[in-house]
Structure 1
Amino acid sequence: MKKYFIQKEPFVVPTTDGKVIEEHHGIPTTGNSEISIAHMIAPPKWSEPFQTPEFDEYTYIISGKKQFIIDGETVVLETGQSIKIEKNTRVQYSNPFDEPCEYIAICKPAFDFNKVHREE
């Protein structure tokens, strides 16, 4: 039995806002509820509602910039920077800039839409 798994077919999450989400490890791809790892591309001028997730989220910026509003504070990450946002923190993710933002997101425990608590 192999002690490794190479993900060659990530789950592409269907979206309606132009954002690309390829989940490599997590609940829908590998059944792993302990951690999720996703490659994402947020198009220019993209944003999503505020949320208060029940998981820690780590973000590493591959290219471009991404804006976070964390408990009312605006933070902008640039290429090569990373951040950890602790669970149960109110946050909004966006790319208000003119270029796409490519990044890796890691959630621990794994991203679960039922535990993200997006505001309407």
Structure 2
Amino acid sequence: MKKYKIQNTPFVVPTSDGKLIEEHFGHATDGNKAISIAHMIAPAGWSEPFQTPEFDEYTYIISGKKQFIIEGEEIILEAGQSIKIERNTAVQYSNPFTIACEYIAICTPAFSMDKVNREV
């Protein structure tokens, strides 16, 4: 039995806001609840509601810029920068800029909608 898995067909999460989410490993892809790894592209003008996730989230920006509002503080990351946001932290993610933002997101434990706690 091989002790590795190459992911050639990530799970593409259906969205209605133009954001591309390709989960390579995680809850939706293979049932892994310990970690999720996703490639994402947030289009210009995209935003999500505030949320308080029950997981740590690491983000690495590949290209473009992404805005984070973390407990009232506005932070903008550019290509080559990364951030860790601890679980149970109020955060809003957005791309208010004119070009798409491509990034990798890693969540521990794995991302799941029942643990993201989005405001309505």
TM-score when scaled to structure 1?
0.99
Task: Report the counterpart of residue 93 of structure 1 in structure 2.
Answer: 93
Task: Report the counterpart of residue 16 of structure 1 in structure 2.
Answer: 16
Find the aligned partners of 1:83 and 1:28 in 2 and give their Cα distance. 23
3-state DSSP class of the match of 2:49? coil
Deviations 1:57-93 (A, max 9, x none): 0000000000000000000000000000000000000
Task: Report the counterpart of residue 44 of structure 1 in structure 2.
Answer: 44
Find the aligned partners of 1:5 and 1:50 in 2 and give their Cα distance. 34
Deviations 1:23-70 (A, max 9, x none): 000011111100000000000000000000000000000000000000
Find the aligned partners of 2:51 and 2:72 in 1 and give their Cα distance. 12
* Structure 1 gap ranges (5+): none
Q: Following superposition, which runs of at least 4 residues in structure 1 exceed 2 angstroms of deviation?
A: none
Matched, 1:28 2:28: yes
Find the aligned partners of 1:71 and 1:96 in 2 and give their Cα distance. 18
3-state DSSP class of the match of 2:119? coil
Matched, 1:78 2:78: yes
Percent same amino acid at aligned positions? 76
User: How big is the shift at 1:2?
Assistant: 0.1
The letter of the residue matching 2:99 is: E
* Structure 2 gap ranges (5+): none
- RMSD of Structure 2 on Structure 1 (CA): 0.3
